[in-house]
Amino acid sequence: MYRKFFLLSKKCKKVPDLHVKTLALMKIMLFFKSQIRKLRGEPALSDELVTRIMHRLVVTDDEELSCDEVFALVDEYAEASQRGENVASLKPLIRHHLDTCRECDEEYQALLRILEGSNSN
Amino acid sequence: MSALYCSIPGPVSNISVKAFRTYAVREKISKKRGRATHAPFFRASPIQLRNSWPFNIIPGKQAGSLNYTHIHYNFPHMTTRTNDQWLSDLRTDGATREAALEDLRAIIARGLPFALSRWLSPASPQFESLTEEVTQETLLRVLDQLHTFEGRSMFTTWVHKIAIRIALTELRRKRWQDSSLDEMVDNEEILVSPRILEDSHPTPEESAERTDMLARIRRVINEELTERQRRALIMLGMQGMPMEEAARRLKTNRNALYKLLHDARLRLRQRLQAEGLDVQEVFSAFEKV
């Protein structure tokens, strides 16, 4: 590890271009970071994980509601959905969050089940 | 059928004897602890009640073998209140408040089997203790956050929402701790279609292009994100960890973690766009391979 650092820093001295030097330093930094991750026992970025991240990026909007904001509105949303209103188009931000946040969607589905249960009785 | 049953208001219910027994045990515990029980007919044995109103066993099925998701819990209704009445009753002191709390306790306990039906059967041994714990915690939180209720929904829906948040958080935590995640993984929403992950024998050129693209994205992730953002993405992306657990490990809360992830994703997207990579096109390229 230190040998690599030594060689790279030697390279930096030889190269006059500042841009190249910066890139080399960045490489050194990333190398050290990756070593620390290895020591910590953190998993590497597998192909599968990168693909998952990319998929999530596709459905990421610039403006999204947070979990707390959705929690504050979800009871009203569930009741409107229960009444048969087209909530997905009326409140697209909530719908989008529920589509992308597993935890919030589970809680919403649970609330719907309670409302359906109490209505069926 | 005795006149007593007829005198109790409320529609006819379908309930398994097993579920009734669970409820009866809970009633017994409540009684021991000096809490009010819900109805006088619980004094009768399940056999007496088996074919009498309001317990109607679903025909064609054996009691106890019913799918718990189809059980309809409907115990005689307590005093119905409007939102304002709930608020005023819970804000006053004395017997009115106690009665309102008891009603609320029953409402929460009645809703939880529906809420948890995807994860836990009312007949399971965990259910009893979880319900008790969640109900208690919900009542405390409701009283604490009463001023935040804005009346945009029914008061009981608002209470159910709080109970669900507590129950599912607790359930996820316990499951994660016990490492018995099989069920959760089964239920987990698959974000990536299996077609993408399986090896579909790509041509050498396609394979090389894909490897190159993955390496570029990996480099962008390593360079652009902070250590915290990277950790959060990995924890939630790969290990199927509940958000609450990931938040605990990062010493934050679920809401802040969601914002952290959103910021990370936006940063990644901007950087990829700056490098001339369109996220949609990259993902489509993966799908083709």
Spatial distance between the Cα atoms of B183 and B86, rounded to a whole number of angstroms: 38
Contact B286 A48 (CB under 8 A): no
Within the 143-162 window of chain B, which residues sit less than 8 Å (CB to CB) from chain A?
A: 152-154, 157-158, 160-161
CB B201 within 8 A of CB B284: no
- Higher pLDDT: B181 or B156? It is B156
Contact B170, B133 (CB under 8 A): yes
Q: What letter represents residue A5's amino acid?
A: F
**Angstrom distance (rounded) from CA B274 to CA B118:** 44
The beta-carbon neighbor of B243 closest among A58, A103, A117 is: A103
pLDDT digits (tens, 9 = 90+) for A96-114: 999 988 899 999 999 999 9
pLDDT band, very low/low/confident/very high, at B241 (cuts 50, 70, 90)? confident
Task: Return the amino acid letter for A86.
Answer: N
What pLDDT score was predicted for residue B117?
A: 85
Q: Which is higher by pLDDT, B31 or B205?
A: B205
Q: Is the pLDDT confidence value at A38 over 80?
A: no
pLDDT given at position A104: 92
Distance from CA of B36 to the nearest CA of A (A): 23
Tell me: pLDDT of B85 over 60.
yes
- Interface residue B252 vs chain A (CB under 8 A): no
- State phi, psi for A19 to the nearest 5 degrees: -60, -45
Of B114, B167, B191, the CB nearest to A56: B191
B79 CB-near residues (< 8 Å, 6+ apart):
B99, B103
Please indicate whether, in this complex, the C-beta atoms of B234 and A111 are within 8 angstroms of each other. Answer: no
B221 lies within 8 A of chain A by CB? yes
Q: Is residue B17 within 8 angstroms of chain A, CB to CB? A: no
How many CB pairs below 8 A link A and B? 152
Quick one: closest CA in B to A104, which residue?
B165
Q: Please, what's the largest Cα pairwise distance for chain B?
A: 82
B196 has a pLDDT exceeding 70 = no
Confidence of residue A16 (pLDDT cuts 50, 70, 90): low
CB contact at 8 A, B184 and B175: yes
* Among B78, B102, B79, B80, CA closest to B90: B102
Predicted ipTM? 0.70
Q: Is A45 on the interface with B (CB under 8 A)?
A: yes
Q: With contact defined as beta carbons under 8 Å apart, do A27 and A8 qualify?
A: yes
Closest CA to A37 of B267, B234, B176: B234
pLDDT for B187 equals 41
Mean pLDDT value of segment B177-203:
48
User: In this complex, do A54 and B217 lie within 8 Å of one another by their Cβ atoms?
Assistant: yes
Question: Residue B45: what are its φ and ψ, rounded to 5°?
Answer: -80, 160
Share of chain A above pLDDT 90, in %: 29
Say what the alpha-carbon torsion angle B177, B183, B189, B195 is, to the nearest 10 degrees: 120
In the prediction, which pLDDT does A27 show? Answer: 78
Least confident of A38-47, A62-71, B93-102, B157-166: A38-47
Which range has the worst mean pLDDT, A22-26, B105-109, B148-152, B197-201? Answer: B197-201
* Of B157, B188, B196, Cβ closest to residue A78: B157
Q: Which of the two residues, B124 and A9, has the higher pLDDT score? A: B124
* Residues whose CB falls within 8 Å of the CB of residue B19, separated by 6 or more in sequence, listed in order: B66, B68, B71, B73, B113, B122, B123
Average pLDDT of every residue of chain B:
70
Quote the CA–CA distance of B61 and B207 in Å, as a whole number: 55
Tell me whether residue A70 is exposed, middle or buried, using C-beta atoms within 10 angstroms of its C-beta: 0 to 12, 13 to 18, 19 or more: buried
Q: Which residue has the higher pLDDT, B70 or A52?
A: A52
**Residue A12, pLDDT score:** 66
CB atoms within 10 A of CB B40: 12
The answer to whether residue A69 scores a pLDDT higher than 90 is yes
Instruction: Look at the block and give the residue holding tokens 């009445």.
Output: B85
Please tell me the predicted confidence (pLDDT) of residue B216: 84
- Interface contact A57-B231, CB threshold 8 A: no
pTM of the model: 0.66
Residue corresponding to tokens 């979990």: A67
Taken in order B3, B8, B13, B17, is the CA torsion positive or negative?
A: negative
State residue B166's pLDDT score. Answer: 93
Structure tokens, A86: 């087209």
Percent of chain B exceeding pLDDT 90 equals 13
Q: What is the pLDDT of residues B174-186, one digit of tens each?
A: 877 775 444 444 4
What value does the mean pLDDT of chain A take? 81
Count, residues in chain B: 289
Tally helices (H) and strands (E) across chain A: 7, 0
- Where does the pLDDT of residue B200 fall: very low under 50, low under 70, confident under 90, or very high at 90 and above? low
